[in-house]
Chains A and B, each alone.
Chain A
Amino acid sequence: MKVRNIEVGPLIGVAPSFRVYPGKTDDGKSVILKVAKTFEDGDVLMKDASRFTRLNTFEKELAKFEMEQNGSNSHYDWLFAHLESSFLEPTQNDRRINVYTTPEIEIDKLIPLSKLRLDTEIDARTSIWILGRLFKFYSLFELRAVSEEAVYPKYPFFWIDDFLIAPKEHRLVYYNYSDEYTSFYANEEVKAVSHYIKEWAVCGNDPAEQEYSNLLDDFVKTGRESFAKAHRELYELVEEHWGFKYHPFTHRDQGTIIWNTIEKGE
Chain B
Amino acid sequence: MGHQTFSVDDYRKARQTYGVTGDTGVTRNAEIRARDTGKLSDIVDPAINPTRFSKIRLNPHKKKWVATLGCPMDIEVSCDTTGSMGGEVDTEMAVLPELYDAVSKVLPGYDPQLCLGIFGDCGDKFVMCRPQFEMEAPKIVNYLKEMAPQRCGCGNHGEDPQYAMFARAYLTDAYTNRIGLKGYHFIITDEPYHNHLKRDQIERIFGEDVFKNDLKEMSEIPSVQKMTAELKQKTHQFILVLAKQYYTDTLDMWINLCGRNSVIVIEHTRQLPKIISAIIGLTEGTLDIAELEEYLGDAPNKSYLISQLSNIDIGAQAKLRHALSHPVPKAGDIFRNKSDTWPIQPGETSEEDEPEETPGHIEYL
| A residues at B contact (CB < 8 Å) | 39, 42-43, 46, 49-51, 53-54, 57-58, 60-61, 83-88, 94, 96, 99, 148
Contact = CB atoms under 8 A, between A and B. Distances in A.
B63 interface: no
Given A54-B310, A57-B306, A58-B303, A49 B290 contact: yes
B311 A50 contact: yes
Contacts of A49: 289-290, 314
A94 B306 contact: no
A57 B305 CA distance: 10
Contacts of A87: 285, 288
Contacts of B319: 39
Interface string B313-355: 0110011001000000000000000000000000000000000
B43 interface: no
Contacts of A96: 315
A85 B322 contact: no
B306 A54 contact: yes
Contacts of B290: 49, 53, 83-86, 99
Given A49-B290, A83-B289, 11 more contacts: A39-B322, A49-B289, A50-B310, A53-B289, A53-B290, A53-B306, A57-B307, A57-B310, A58-B303, A88-B315, A94-B318
A151 to B, nearest CB: 15
Contact of B285 (A51, A61, A88): A88
A87 B285 CA distance: 7
Determine which residue in A42, A49, A50, A53 has the highest number of CB atoms from chain B within 10 A of its CB, and name it: A53
A119 B266 CA distance: 52
Contacts of B307: 54, 57-58, 148
Contacts of B257: none
Contact of A61 (B288, B289, B292, B303): B303
Nearest to A64: B303
B293 interface: yes
B293 A57 contact: yes
A57 B303 contact: yes
Interface of B: 285, 288-293, 302-303, 306-307, 310-311, 314-315, 318-319, 322
A86 B288 contact: yes
A49 B309 CA distance: 12
28 contacts: A39-B319, A42-B315, A43-B315, A46-B314, A49-B289, A49-B314, A50-B311, A50-B314, A51-B310, A53-B289, A53-B290, A53-B306, A53-B310, A54-B306, A57-B302, A57-B306, A57-B310, A58-B303, A58-B307, A83-B289, A84-B290, A85-B291, A86-B288, A86-B289, A86-B290, A88-B315, A94-B318, A148-B307
Contacts of A51: 310
A211 B252 CA distance: 50
Nearest to B291: A85
Contacts of A94: 318, 322
B260 to A, nearest CB: 13
A172 B291 CA distance: 25
Nearest to B314: A46
A40 to B, nearest CB: 8
A43 B315 CA distance: 8
A145 B344 CA distance: 54
A87 B315 CA distance: 9
A46 B318 CA distance: 12
Nearest to A86: B289
List 7 tightest A-B contacts by C-beta distance, closest first. A50-B310, A61-B303, A57-B306, A53-B310, A83-B290, A54-B310, A85-B290
Which has the most chain A C-beta neighbours within 10 Å: B290, B303, B306? B290
Nearest to B315: A46
A148 B302 CA distance: 14
Contacts of A53: 289-290, 292, 306, 310
A34 to B, nearest CB: 13
A120 B306 CA distance: 41
B159 to A, nearest CB: 27
Contacts of B293: 57
Nearest to B323: A39
Contacts of A83: 289-290
A57 B302 CA distance: 9
B319 to A, nearest CB: 8
A224 to B, nearest CB: 27
A96 B316 CA distance: 13
Contacts of B303: 57-58, 60-61
Contacts of B289: 49-50, 53, 83, 86
Nearest to B292: A53
B288 A85 contact: yes
A42 B314 CA distance: 11
Nearest to B313: A46
A202 to B, nearest CB: 41
